[in-house]
């Protein structure tokens, strides 16, 4: 890669193996079906594609786009739903799908909003659960890998909108 120095953390094979495990677990946990996967754009698009295909249950798929106000650091509650989910979550088993949980603001806020629309259950799946900067508690029901800190790219994660298309997950070296 150009411009930044990176080190691979998780290669394509280990990601694929984890996704298969998560898909199996989600399928076992939802024997009733009635699943609605909601991906948070844009970062979730790669994980969503793999996770959805790893399920042994029929499911519906939709997306939402959430952005933080301004360009600085996100402050609590300062989130804007740019595009809300289009399919009704009422009485559905909903799984929010994202590439990473970092401060936890995005998913904790959006989760609250969806809960008020009466889903039957609501869980969270994230490829990366990054813990060091957590500001809001988020229970990540299904995570691919847990790391403490670091700026990650690849598998949907971007740096300045680049590198989302890398198959592995890399850490940017300082």
Q: Which residues bind ligand PRP (CB under 6 A)?
A: 40-43, 74, 98-106, 158
Candidates 102, 129, 149, 158; catalytic one: 102
Kindly give, in sequence order, each residue whose CB lies less than 8 Å from that of residue 53, ignoring residues fewer than 6 positions away.
23
CA dist 28 to 32, 43, 137, 167, Å? 10, 26, 26, 27
Q: Measured from the CB of residue 59, what is the shortest distance to ligand PRP in angstroms?
A: 20
Closer CB to ligand PRP, 104 or 154, in the complex: 104
d(CA 54, CA 109): 27
Paired with 63 in beta bridges are 39
Q: Measured from the CB of residue 6, what is the shortest distance to ligand PRP in angstroms?
A: 17
Closer CB to ligand PRP, 45 or 120, in the complex: 45
Closer CB to ligand PRP, 57 or 79, in the complex: 79
DSSP one-letter code for 154: B
**Which residues are known to be catalytic?**
102
């Amino acid at each position: 890669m150009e411009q930044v120095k990176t080190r691979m953390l998780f290669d394509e094979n280990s990601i694929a193996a984890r996704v298969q495990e998560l898909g199996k677990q989600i399928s076992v946990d939802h024997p009733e079906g009635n699943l609605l996967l909601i991906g948070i754009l844009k970062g979730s698009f790669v994980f969503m594609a793999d996770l959805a295909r790893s399920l042994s249950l029929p499911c519906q798929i939709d997306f939402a786009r959430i952005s933080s106000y301004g360009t600085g650091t996100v402050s609590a509650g300062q989130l804007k739903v740019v595009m809300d989910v289009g399919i009704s979550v009422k009485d559905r088993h909903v799984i929010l799908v994202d590439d990473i949980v970092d401060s936890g603001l995005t998913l904790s806020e959006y989760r609250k909003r969806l809960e008020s629309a009466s889903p039957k259950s609501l869980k969270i799946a994230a490829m990366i659960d990054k813990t060091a900067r957590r500001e809001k508690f988020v229970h990540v029901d299904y995570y691919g890998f847990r790391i403490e800190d670091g700026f990650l790219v690849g598998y949907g994660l971007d740096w300045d909108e680049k590198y989302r298309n890398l198959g592995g997950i890399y850490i940017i070296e300082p």
